[in-house]
Structure 1
Amino acid sequence: MKGLNVKDRTARSRSRTGRGRGTRALQRAFGVLAVTGVCLALTPPASAADTTSHKPPAVDFGLSASTECVFGGDVIKSTPWSLQRILLDQLWAQAKGKDVKVAVIDTGVDKSNKQLSGAVVGGKTFVDGPATKDIEGHGTRVAGIIAARPLKGTGFVGIAPEAEILSYRYTGGDEKQGNSRTMSQAIAAAVADNADIINISSDTTNREDNDELRDAIKAAVNSGALIIAAAGNEGADGKQANTYPASYDGVLAVAASDRNDERAPFSQSGKFVDVAAPGVSMVSTVPIDGQCTADGTSFAAPYIAGVAALLMDKYPDWDANQIATRIEETAQRPGREPNPFIGWGVVDPVAALSEESTPGESPEPDPPVAAGAGGVIPMAVTMGESEAERERRVAIYVLGTGLALALVVAGSGVAVRDWRSRRSGELGRARRPVSGAGR
């Protein structure tokens, strides 16, 4: 170990057999204890080692495609983490989304899944195949996160289990039809059917703006519907960019967050992001029957749509802007204002429904809080060692010093005893009479 050189340190040997064995043993013991003491003193506390000694795991975005799921497979018995983070009983004691119509602009919603058969009440298709079938599985997952009904044997359920789903199939047909035009037509149909919330979990190719789509969104916003759109999954490069329709005025743009309430690595960032919601390892329904897990902002957006449905159920007189503002202002965030990664923060459904005040038409930053306000004393930021680390270091030093002194005292005693023994022997030999050669 650096700083401790024992290579050339050897005990002084004696020519007489048996002498100095105790002293050499003590010296060896002292050397071992010295090395141990230095290593202990240089070893950081466990709390610090845990944060520096492990390499971060490789990032696995896990952007599951529909081919990775078994349609008609088993249900997942456990409760997903995205639902464990909230108190569903407390949430549903206030609202369940009853009579709120949520339009799902997607690949269709397969009504044959047991958890969705009572949720899908209408819709329309703009590609081949009916709106209540889904060969891709994407729209069925989106709808499940919003309004899947409870089912015995699984912990998964929709955020708003009494909301109504309107399925508008704008893409995902056998011939892979679907573009911004069919999306615009689907949005217009949802407005005509008086949808309260319109969920769009997709964006345009190459993040391109589109006049027809922009006009369709503008008309939907003017109709009073709350438009919720996914921010997109191309954020792994760390660059900020606008996506559409999420970036259009009046749209609540949703990023994906992980289990730590931080932006998921794939989630697109940008100033257009309004709020975030769980989007990693999202359990939801699949066509025919069963469930599977997938990642993406596509599944964060319906999480927000479900919370919005609960708010509309509880506060039927609020307009779309007030619903969006309540979601944003009650979200969990690290600062007073929004940021390009999670917007106003990660949605807190219970806080959104528990807050009693009436929200405004747009969110406001949190008021500044003076240091020490409310009787709370801010914890000092320590750049060096903490008090606990200092106490540990001092204790090790004291222990090491005490052991060293004990060894020195013991070694000195042995040395004195050996010296006295040797001295006595020499004196004895000097006093012994020498026999004469002629006697």
Structure 2
Amino acid sequence: MLPTELVKLPALMQRTSGSPEVRIGLIDGPVFTQHADLVQGQLMEIGGRNAASCTQTDSGACLHGTFVAGILAARRTSSAPAICPNCTLLIRPIFSEATFGREHMPSATPQELATAIFDCINAGARVINLSLALARPSTRGEKVLDEAFTQALKQGVLIVAAAGNQGTLGGSVITRHPWVIPVVACDLRGRPINESNLGGSIGMRGLSAPGENITSLDSGGQAITLSGTSMAVPFVTGAIALLWSEFPDATVAQIKLAIMRQPQTFRQGSFMQGGFLSTRSYGPRRASIVPPLLDAEAAYQMLSAMSTRRQTA
């Protein structure tokens, strides 16, 4: 079984390879944009004091950024999942090429991450991919990051983030925020891998996606196989991008309801309070510390039913 098959992406990927109007914010390391499987992609470099394109192809930051970019934006004939190559990938580097070794999950300060989130929002991102961890924040740092998440909520920009690779119970400042969709890494049987963090907020508001032995692009121009929650996040991000490509008139509330596999009985305005989206949860409360598996086809069918109802109303 392929990783995309586990989360029922193939049918959606056959329907569309994405729309350039759907912009994905990739907050990560630099990307080897000259990789043969990326050169024809819809790549856009934005902001940041670190270079968006790799200058040291053997660096951990470059490998990580290129790998995640490949899952989303590689050409479909590559060895990478290549979920949404025709969507626009906004490359917002947050890690310098000397930041971390290949064996570690990258981390950022709250201030750095908040600035990058604002940059992606201002560049028109519809969804932001955070395959990263957060350095231990101060109270001030948490406030700055909370402001960035709140701005994303107000602007209707979804944020998908890694649950983390410490193999512990409990969330982080990122995954505990009610607007963030945390992602747990699982194997091809749908079981969480040992390294993936779990917890109440993760189980309640998150999703599981493939994160073991995922093959994508290497910063040296080849392919490589890696594991971890960083690898799982872009499966959810890519599914969201494809759904918005197929249903460009869908609201952010509808997209989130569909991807989170909420019941279809909600009214369109259920998440609207005070002119923008509320973070309040609706429907049956999840009790497990393990979130359900992403089901891209079920999300598509839910949005299709919503669209049909709008057209016949």
| Bin for the TM-score computed over the shorter chain | 0.7 to 0.9
Identity within the alignment, %: 25
The 5 A counterparts of 1:106-121 are 106-121=28-43
**1:354 is aligned with what amino acid?**
Q
C-alpha change, 1:146 and 1:340, in structure 2 (3 Å) is farther
Alignment of 1:159 onto 2:106: no
SS of the aligned residue for 1:272 comes to helix
Match of 2:176 in 1: 247
Return the TM-score normalized by structure 2: 0.78
Tell me the distance in 2 between the aligned counterparts of 1:211 and 1:88: 36
How far apart are the structure 1 equivalents of 2:178 and 2:110?
17
Question: Is 2:105 the partner of 1:173?
Answer: no
Residue 94 of structure 1: aligned partner: 15
Q: Tell me how far apart the structure 2 counterparts of residues 339 and 270 of structure 1 sit (CA, whole Å).
A: 10
Residue aligning to 2:280 = none
> Which residue does 1:85 correspond to in 2?
6
Relative distance call for 1:179 and 1:318 in structure 2 (3 A) is: same
Question: Higher strand proportion, which one?
Answer: 2
- Find the residue that maps to 1:215 and give its secondary structure: helix
Q: Which has the higher contact order (CA 8 A, sep 6+)?
A: 2
- The within-5 A match list for 1:170-319 is 170-174=94-98, 179-206=109-136, 210-235=142-167, 237=168, 240-273=169-202, 274-319=206-251
SS of alignment partner, residue 153 of structure 2:
helix
Aligned-partner Cα distance in 1 for 2:226–2:79 = 16
Do structure 1's residue 143 and structure 2's residue 69 form an aligned pair?
Answer: yes
- Amino acid paired to 1:146: L
1:287-311 C-alpha deviation (Å, 9 max, x unpaired):
1411111111111111100100111
> In the alignment, residue 290 of structure 2 is paired with which amino acid?
I
**SS state at 1:112 partner:** coil
Give the corresponding residue for 1:40. Answer: none
Give the C-alpha shift of residue 220 in structure 1. 1.7
- For structure 1, the 5+ residue unaligned runs are 1-79, 360-439
In structure 2, what is the Cα distance between the partners aligned to 1:94 and 1:175?
39
- TM-score norm. by structure 1 comes to 0.56
Give 1:347's aligned amino acid.
L
Deviations for 1:403-431, whole angstroms, at most 9, x for unmatched residues? xxxxxxxxxxxxxxxxxxxxxxxxxxxxx
User: How far off its partner does 1:276 sit?
Assistant: 0.9
* Mapping for residues 68-79 of structure 1, pairs under 5 Å: none
How far 1:86 sits from its partner (Å)?
Answer: 6.0
Q: CA RMSD in A?
A: 2.5
Secondary structure in 1 matching 2:230? coil
The alignment partner of 1:357 has SS state of helix
Shift of 1:352: 2.0
CA displacement at 1:246 relative to structure 2:
2.2
For the 8 Å contact 1:112–1:288, the answer to whether it is kept is no
Cα drift, residue 339 of structure 1: 4.2
Query: 1: distance between equivalents of 2:195 and 2:10?
Result: 32
Return the alpha-carbon distance in structure 1 between the equivalents of residues 99 and 160 of structure 2. Answer: 27
Q: Displacement of 1:106 after TM fit?
A: 0.6
Report the equivalent of 1:123: 45
CA separation of 1:86/1:272 partners in 2, compared to 1, >3 Å: closer, same or farther? closer
What are structure 2's unaligned runs of at least 5 residues?
A: 101-106, 264-283, 308-313
Count of paired positions? 269
CA deviations 1:143-173 (Å, max 9, x no partner) are 111121123xx54331223222111111133
Runs of 4+ with >6 A deviation: none
Secondary structure at 2:199's aligned position in 1? coil
Separation in 2, partners of 1:84, 1:307: 12
Q: 1:163 to 1:249 in 2, by over 3 A?
A: same
Structure-1 residue corresponding to 2:275: none
For the Cα contact (< 8 Å) 2:183–2:229, is it kept in 1? yes
Question: Are positions 1:341 and 2:289 aligned together?
Answer: yes
Q: Which has the larger radius of gyration?
A: 1
Q: Is the 8 A contact 1:105 1:199 kept in 2?
A: yes
